[in-house]
C-alpha cells in the first residue's frame, strides 16, 4: 500500500508491533481521514494475556525507536480480537475507520455521538509527534510539557506543524491552527496545543 507518498509493507509494521511486549496480534491498514482525501496508516492490536493496560502513546513511542517515521501508524487501537475471513485469515476489510467511527468489539461500529468529538486520540498522536521531533519519550510527556524547554527550535516547530497537519488536521484547518499557534508561542505546552487542536476539530 502507499501512504503519504511512501510505499508501506503492512507486514513489516505488524511484525514490529508484535515484537513489543504486551501485544499478541496486530493488523495494519490504510484508512481515509474524515476531513480530507489523505490516507493514514492505522493499526489494530490485540493485547497479550495478562498485559498491562494498553497505552497508545507508549506503543507509538516504541515503534519510533525501530521504524522510519512514515511506518509509524497515526492511530493504534486495541481490540478484543481481529476479525477473520471464513478461511481464518485476518479480514482487514472488516476493520473500521477510526477517523470516522468509534471502535468497540472488532467489526462492530459504534455510532458517533451528536456532539463533535476530538477524532483520533489527539493527545496521544500529538505526544507521539513531539517525541519524534524532540527525540524524547512520549510516555514522559504531560499537559505541562513545554516544547521549547524540551529543546524545540523554530525548525522543530515547523516539523511539528507539518506532522500535525498530516496526522490530525485537514488542509483547511492547518492555516487556522498556525494562526492560533502564534498566540501560544510564548507558552507552547502539550496541553495548550491539544486544546487548540480539539477546538479546531470541533468547529471545522
**Whether 57 contacts 127, CB under 8 Å:** yes
As a whole number of angstroms, the distance between CA 44 and CA 78 comes to 6
* Model confidence pTM above 0.75: no
| Whole-number pLDDT of residue 132 | 83
User: Does residue 117 lie in a domain region?
Assistant: no
pLDDT at residue number 35? 65
- 97 and 14 in a single domain? The answer is yes
- Identify whether residues 163 and 198 lie together within a single domain: yes
More confident residue, 66 or 101: 66
pLDDT 10s digits, 3-43: 666 778 889 999 999 999 889 999 998 887 766 667 788 89
User: Is there a single domain that holds both residue 193 and residue 168?
Assistant: yes
Q: If you average pLDDT over residues 115-122, what whole number do you get?
A: 48
Q: Do both 44 and 82 map to the same domain?
A: yes
Q: Cα–Cα distance between 1 and 7 in angstroms, integer?
A: 6
Residues 68, 141, single domain; the answer is no
pLDDT at 112: 33
Same structural domain, 106 and 178: no
Q: Of 16 and 154, which is predicted with more confidence?
A: 16
Instruction: Return the closest-CA partner of residue 41 out of 62, 79, 69, 61.
Output: 69
Q: How many CA atoms lie within 13 A of 155 on its CB side?
A: 2
Residues 98 and 25 in one domain: yes
Residue 33's pLDDT is what? 74
The rounded distance, in Å, linking the Cα atoms of 130 and 57 is 11
Q: pLDDT confidence of 163, banded at 50, 70, 90?
A: confident
Q: Is residue 116 part of a domain?
A: no
Which pLDDT band holds residue 104 (cuts at 50, 70, 90)?
very low
| One domain, residues 89 and 132 | no
Note whether residue 19 is domain-resident. yes
Q: How far apart are CA 6 and CA 38, in angstroms?
A: 12
If asked whether residues 161 and 183 sit together in one domain, one would say yes
CA 69/CA 28 separation, integer angstroms: 15
Which tens digit of pLDDT belongs to each residue from 52-74? 788 888 899 999 999 988 898 88
Q: Cβ distance 44 to 26 under 8 Å?
A: yes
Are residue 100 and residue 127 in the same domain, yes or no?
A: no
SS (H, E, C) 15-79: HHHHCCCCEEEEEEEEEECCCCCCEEEEEEEEECCCCCCCCHHHHHHHHHHHCCHHHCCCEEEEC
When divided into structural domains, the chain yields a total of 2
Provide mean pLDDT across the span 180-202. Answer: 75
Amino acid at each position: 500500500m502507499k501512504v503519504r507518498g511512501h510505499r508501506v509493507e503492512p507486514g513489516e509494521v505488524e511484525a514490529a508491533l508484535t515484537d513489543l511486549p504486551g501485544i499478541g496480534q496486530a493488523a495494519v491498514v490504510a484508512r481515509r481521514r474524515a476531513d480530507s482525501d489523505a490516507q493514514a496508516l492505522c493499526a489494530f492490536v490485540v493485547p497479550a494475556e495478562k498485559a498491562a493496560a494498553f497505552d497508545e502513546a507508549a506503543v507509538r513511542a516504541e515503534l519510533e525507536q525501530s521504524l522510519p517515521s512514515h511506518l509509524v501508524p497515526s492511530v493504534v487501537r486495541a481490540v478484543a480480537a481481529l476479525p477473520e475471513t471464513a478461511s481464518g485469515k485476518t479480514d482487514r476489510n472488516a476493520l473500521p475507520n477510526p477517523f470516522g467511527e468509534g471502535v468497540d468489539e472488532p467489526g462492530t461500529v459504534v455510532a458517533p455521538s451528536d456532539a463533535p468529538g476530538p477524532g483520533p486520540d489527539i493527545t496521544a498522536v500529538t505526544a507521539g509527534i513531539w517525541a519524534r521531533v524532540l527525540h524524547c519519550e512520549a510516555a514522559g510527556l504531560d499537559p505541562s510539557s513545554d516544547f521549547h524547554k524540551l529543546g524545540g527550535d523554530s525548525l522543530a516547530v515547523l516539523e511539528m506543524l507539518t506532522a500535525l497537519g498530516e496526522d490530525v488536521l485537514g488542509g483547511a484547518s492547518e492555516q487556522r491552527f498556525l494562526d492560533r499557534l502564534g498566540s501560544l508561542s510564548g507558552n507552547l505546552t502539550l496541553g495548550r496545543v491539544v486544546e487548540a487542536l480539539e477546538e479546531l476539530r470541533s468547529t471545522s
